[in-house]
Amino acid sequence: MKILVMNGPNLQLLGRRKAEFYGTRTLPEIETMLQNVAAELGVDLEFMQSNHEGVLVDRVAAAITDGTDGIVINPAAYTHTSIALRDALEAARIPAVEVHLSNVASRDEFRKLSLTAPMCIGQITGLGADGYEWALRALVRYLVSKKMNE
């Protein structure tokens, strides 16, 4: 099983930016933690991060034909602004789980609307870096269950 872990703008700054919202773990530290979970679950991960909307949209489109079974995505600021990323997730029809380190519902008003979440099977917010682990576990459980019911 192949899972794509996508991260949007400014997430390369984790560990240095607004620790009160995003915690102190860096993106490479989160990726290492996820690799350990993936080994336990027996799945392969691919990581990518981009500050550019089109790069993220192109990667979702590529996932349609490259054997990607599921996506864990933190669209970051594009959560609230990117119709293009939303449309790419809808077109791909690949099960995805949206992750946010902070509790977006308790922050600025504009952060309360996710354009991308309706294209995902679920959303995990406010659990910090651990949210990535729970997203991965939930996605793999969903994919295994779906495969068993086919």
Catalytic entry in 22, 52, 78, 132: 22
Q: In what order do the strands lie in the sheet with 96-100?
A: 44-49, 2-7, 70-74, 96-100, 122-125
Catalytic entry in 52, 78, 80, 100: 100
24 or 115, greater pLDDT = 115
- Label residue 81 by pLDDT band (50, 70, 90): very high
Catalytic, 132? Answer no
**Domain 2-148 -> CATH class:** alpha beta
Catalytic, 100? Answer yes
Domain boundaries, the chain: 2-148
For the entire predicted model, the pTM comes to 0.93
- Label residue 47 by pLDDT band (50, 70, 90): very high
- Label residue 18 by pLDDT band (50, 70, 90): low
